[in-house]
Amino acid sequence: MKRTVPFEFFAPGQSVYFDTMRLVELEKLTGVSVMAMPAQTSHESIDFMLKACQVGLAHHYPNATLEDYAAKIDLCLETGCSFYDIGVALGNAIVASGVYGKEATERAMEMYKAKDTMTPIASNPAEPGI
């Protein structure tokens, strides 16, 4: 089952998700095992966020480059979001994939059940070259 997490930093109605193949792709791009991510701080880097966006948002932007996501994040930062906000949503999407077990998945998804916990929408969504 694909569990999506709201990700409206770039445009309304968007979501991010990771399934097994997307997690494999993320591991390849980052060089970090998904199973080791909770114990490492490399998943908090901007480089990690760009790569996680590229993998986790591929259904919205199939041809987006890291540079495209950097531009989107820059615009988002200008409109009030933070790297922390983006990182939390990406981290929750990884946990929601089920990779850390049912209990962790349920905790990650619980925070998105209420409508008022949606991620903020950027007032000027960036669409650079994609």
In a domain, 127, yes or no: no
In a domain, 126, yes or no: no
Give the range of the structural domain holding residue 16, as residue numbers without chain letter. 5-117
Q: Is the entire prediction scored with pTM above 0.85?
A: no
Please, what is the average pLDDT of the chain? 84
In a domain, 128, yes or no: no
What is the tens place of the pLDDT at every residue in 73-108?
999 999 999 999 999 899 999 999 988 888 888 888
Percent of the chain with pLDDT over 70: 81
- At residue 48, does pLDDT exceed 50? yes
DSSP per position, 44-82: GSHHHHHHHHHHHTTTT-TT--HHHHHHHHHHHHHTT--
In a domain, 130, yes or no: no
In a domain, 123, yes or no: no
In a domain, 65, yes or no: yes
How many domains would you assign to the chain?
A: 1
Letter for the amino acid at 104? A
**126 or 17: which leads in pLDDT:** 17
